[in-house]
Structure 1
């Protein structure tokens, strides 16, 4: 794995949605083969930043480089996987046929379909129509459709929302297995207890990047043991310094 350059390199990124600035002067890099958490309250710009990385967001200024190519370039389509908050599957197809369809798009087939379905805990539902599944199960089908392509970069927008605690742990174990293989993962969440499962954290607040640091560094800088308290302390410290 080439680690000489970051998987994602963002420079002076600004995004405006109507009169509202969704992202303001964001500069950050994401190393290859890592699990990076993108954390912050709802509406802080997490999804917008992810859309910039996968190339589906119009930007006002700045640059976004992904796997050494401009974000959204055609050559990245088979190298980047993206799972949105809303499930993106075909409701009239079974779980297995959904995953097989995306596998075919990536030139993959055979046992990889069953292996991927098992990885998201849906083997017992593989023959069910996606339209008959719960919201949490649909999210897992979307995740399987992204995983089956074996992407180099996997961008996941709150993938564990609505999942039971056991499945959440199993999915995080799978994410770490992927990172050990060299896959880069960017995972957004507003659940602070998931932050401890990340090698590094990107903390967003009102479109601004408050910091890039490890969970341990966040605790050390703020003197708080609970990450939620540490995040709040960091916000108050930064806002106090600006005032």
Structure 2
């Protein structure tokens, strides 16, 4: 497949601290890649380097076949970037907001493009409603409509569903998959594990370094983690006692059950053995959350400035 995004060794420093450290990422055309990592991990900085808003201190690559170092303006014209805070005018209607964006891009057929975006994102019946009166979910739709108005080939979405209710999030992801069917490439940062699982593939970054890459199944398999689920009286109350024992990376209650995880199945079994009389343990599948917590526990914070 043709790579829409193919960058390598991207590095960015601010004030002596390394925010992104030799990050490499390839996303093929028409794919949805989930970009995950804790706050301050370098996700937004990486997105801004990919779309040409920031110049890397080191590294490079191509976006849509264009050189990241020399063709930044051409790259910008073919990318839709949805930031964490939607840049909407609250005292303008939905249609007026989209018409303003069309004028900024000097687009032809403005009326037709705006009408098409309104229909595609289900905004046509609310076209005259003020943006400032919209709920979070509808503001999200408007922001996405503004991003695709100039018909970009790549969408960069920076935590677009933060603070949005579950139904609006589901509808948003249905729209993202519809766009991907039209051969649009999507790189979306998120903290939600259920959203990550809706992506074709995922990339995990912590302290500016890429720690995992692949499909959900590939990332879980590559982690080398094993999991057990315990059921029985008070099983969910054992998390603090079990977490930190030799062989246990994490222990977390889920309802009345306890989920434990570690890198060695035999050591994991030995760790929970003292509770065998009251808790029934059975093998289970590690989750993405297990993998990411484990990665964080073993990651080194290289962003600290050393004097």
- TM-score by length of structure 1 reads 0.87
Comparing 84-93 with 48-57, which one deviates more in the overlay?
Answer: 84-93
Q: State the 1:111 CA deviation.
A: 4.5
Asked if 2 retains the 8 angstrom alpha-carbon contact of 1:108 and 1:149, the reply is no
Asked if 2 retains the 8 angstrom alpha-carbon contact of 1:33 and 1:184, the reply is yes
Q: Could you tell me which residue of structure 1 aligns to residue 93 of structure 2?
A: 94
Q: State the 1:194 CA deviation.
A: 0.8
Q: State the 1:46 CA deviation.
A: 0.6
Can you list the C-alpha shifts for 1:199-236, whole angstroms capped at 9, x where unaligned?
11110111110021110112222344321112223444
Alpha-carbon distance in structure 1 between the residues aligned to 2:100 and 2:295:
45
Q: State the 1:116 CA deviation.
A: 2.1
2:123 is the alignment partner of 1:62: no
- RMSD over aligned CA atoms reads 2.1
Asked if 1 retains the 8 angstrom alpha-carbon contact of 2:121 and 2:145, the reply is yes
1:1-243 aligned within 5 A: 3-4=1-2, 6-71=3-68, 73-104=72-103, 105=105, 106-222=107-223, 223=226, 224-236=285-297
Alpha-carbon distance in structure 1 between the residues aligned to 2:86 and 2:143:
6
Indicate the SS of the match to 2:87.
coil
Higher normalized contact order (CA 8 Å, seq sep 6+, divided by chain length): 1
Can you list the C-alpha shifts for 1:35-91, whole angstroms capped at 9, x where unaligned?
000001111111000000111113211114211113362223331110100111233
Q: State the 1:15 CA deviation.
A: 0.2
Alpha-carbon distance in structure 2 between the residues aligned to 1:122 and 1:132:
14
Alpha-carbon distance in structure 2 between the residues aligned to 1:119 and 1:225:
38
Alpha-carbon distance in structure 2 between the residues aligned to 1:125 and 1:215:
37
Indicate the SS of the match to 2:30.
coil
Point out where structure 2 has 5 or more consecutive residues left out of the alignment: 227-284, 301-307
Point out where structure 1 has 5 or more consecutive residues left out of the alignment: none
Asked if 1 retains the 8 angstrom alpha-carbon contact of 2:137 and 2:169, the reply is no
Between Structure 1 and Structure 2, whose CA radius of gyration is higher? 2
Q: State the 1:184 CA deviation.
A: 0.3
Can you list the C-alpha shifts for 1:93-131, whole angstroms capped at 9, x where unaligned?
211111123235333434442342344444443212223
**Count of residue pairs the alignment pairs up:** 236
Indicate the SS of the match to 1:62.
strand
Asked if 2 retains the 8 angstrom alpha-carbon contact of 1:15 and 1:24, the reply is yes
Alpha-carbon distance in structure 2 between the residues aligned to 1:108 and 1:33:
26
Alpha-carbon distance in structure 2 between the residues aligned to 1:53 and 1:47:
10
CA 1:118 to 1:168, structure 2 compared with 1: closer, same or farther past 3 Å?
A: farther
Q: Could you tell me which residue of structure 1 aligns to residue 264 of structure 2?
A: none
Q: State the 1:9 CA deviation.
A: 1.4
